[in-house]
Structure 1
Amino acid sequence: MEFFNDHRKLFTTAFLLFFVLTLFVAILPALHNQRQNAPLPGHEPLSEAAGKGKSVFIANGCVACHTQQVRNVAMDRPWGKRPSVAADYAGIVRTDAWRNTATLMGTERTGPDLTDVGNRQPSLEWNLVHLFNPRIVVEASIMPAYPWLFEYKAYPADGDVVVNVPEAYLKNGKGKVVATEEALQLVAYLQSLRQVPLPDGRPSPEFLYARAAAQAAAADEGGGLDGALLYATHCQSCHQANGEGLPGAFPSLKGSNVVGGDDLELYVDIIMNGYDARPEFAAMPGIGTMMELTPAEVAAIINHERTSWGNAGTTVTEAEIKEMMDFLAQGADE
């Protein structure tokens, strides 16, 4: 009983017990994980702007609806080229000495996963419009708007980033919408979220379904891949469901000379490698290359665009697109 009556012995023993438990349960395993899971060779630390943008992301509660973890299940295939691995998070550091908030893996996916959003949607213009009011680019979006990240200016300065917002969404026609520094920092953070390829040619972990098998099954059932679904997945966020795009930001595919024209090389090149039409429109990223679209998928997208919204272009075959993609790849190598 003397032990329990001597507070020095009691508290010293309790402290040593918890210290030993903390050492073996938390500290040593964490140090082991740091040694075993180094950042991937292609990992890039956050830039100053992206680091500040991460704080904006946290402050505005984005982590409540968006995850940053691609699980090894079929439904997560649209969010990244491969399932996430421990090394993807190894290079993420604490916010500062007092706050951790390092990994923002999230617990709920009300909105899309953002692990690879920097590759899926790298467009500065699209991200700014989407933050100002998501319904402008995704009509059915339930994401809240963030107008406080923007300001109205009658005469924007030379260094201001003007956001092309349709008149219907302007507040009493107050002038031009200009992105604040916080908005640009948040987009810089989103653009930094990219999956890094595994080193040494190591194969990526497979998702729990075979993509090729799914394509073959779709073809056997009647008729090839679903071009409308592929368009909705890869193109609709900018060019819209009606193909009319967004004036001043994203071109219309309805009645487009590229979509309905005979220059298939240009058409495929734009899908695979992107196109910069400044100052008329925002630059388009190389969606086909980034998302590793197959000739069959590109052909399905082209055929959907050429036969929708009143377009009456000539349909193409997978063999034609493969030949064109091989030609473009050969030209890039040279």
Structure 2
Amino acid sequence: MSQDAETRAQQRENEDPEEAIRPMPLSALLIAVFMVLWAVVYILYSEPLANSRYGDQRTLAELSGPAPGAAAAGGAVDGAAIFAAQCAACHQATGKGLPGVFPPLDGSEWVHGEPRILANILLHGITGEIEVEGQKYQGQMPAFAQLSDAELAGVASYIRGTWSNKAEPLGAELFAAERKSDRTTPFEGGAALKALLEKGS
């Protein structure tokens, strides 16, 4: 390659990059400083941060609140909330249950019948065969003795007065009385529940 050709080739090449320092423009720096100073002054002279418009100021305890269905001081128990939390998964929000698996509460003779039986079902649970509205169910219902008497009365009253059920509500005193029994195991099906009334205990 001739020297002229080599020189022309070199002229076509880009120059190697070089590191250069480009400081921030003075105008941009002044704007940034002004914005920071304005923000500080605004915060110092604005309303207290406790103002509700600056966000939710509730504590964790206030947000968690009482347990579902728990009564506030002097307040009523929310039986619907207890049902939704403890019962609806099996008996469904409609109270219809699941055919052949979980019996219905809507229209159930065990729900709108003798209050003592319903109280004992909730306190002690059931295992074995039970007939509801002419259909037999074989399974197990857990006890809910961990709930207070007021909570049990609340959920019992809810299911007795909801859907097509029109029975009267139950009081906490019924559950307090039935809780005193020496039973520690679930009832063995519907026959054992019926026997409860025959024995009167």
Q: CA deviation at 1:284?
A: 2.5
Do the aligned residues in 1 keep the contact of 2:126 with 2:140 (CA within 8 Å)? yes
- Tell me the residue number matched to 1:288: 144
In structure 1, stretches of 5+ residues that fail to align are 1-72, 76-207
CA distance 1:251–1:320, shift in 2 (3 Å): same
Q: Which amino acid aligns with 1:267?
A: L
Asked if residue 278 in structure 1 is aligned to residue 129 in structure 2, the reply is yes
Alignment of 1:213-292 (within 5 A): 215-217=70-72, 220-221=74-75, 224-262=76-114, 264-278=115-129, 280-289=136-145, 292=146
Do the aligned residues in 1 keep the contact of 2:96 with 2:103 (CA within 8 Å)? yes
Q: Which amino acid aligns with 2:144?
A: G
Which among 298, 302, 325 is matched to residue 152 of structure 2? 298
CA distance 1:243–1:216, shift in 2 (3 Å): closer
Larger Rg: 2
CA distance 1:247–1:297, shift in 2 (3 Å): same
For 1:271 and 1:285, how far apart are their aligned partners in 2? Answer: 9
Secondary structure at the counterpart of residue 253 of structure 1: coil
Q: CA deviation at 1:287?
A: 3.4
Do the aligned residues in 2 keep the contact of 1:243 with 1:254 (CA within 8 Å)? yes
**TM-score, scaled relative to structure 2:** 0.51
Question: Quick one: percent identity of the two aligned structures?
Answer: 29
CA distance 1:281–1:312, shift in 2 (3 Å): same
In terms of fraction of residues, the more strand-rich structure is 2
Alignment of 1:112-261 (within 5 A): 215-217=70-72, 220-221=74-75, 224-261=76-113
For 1:74 and 1:273, how far apart are their aligned partners in 2? Answer: 32
Secondary structure at the counterpart of residue 266 of structure 1: helix
Q: Deviations over 1:54-77 (max 9, x none)?
A: xxxxxxxxxxxxxxxxxxx879xx
CA distance 1:252–1:210, shift in 2 (3 Å): closer
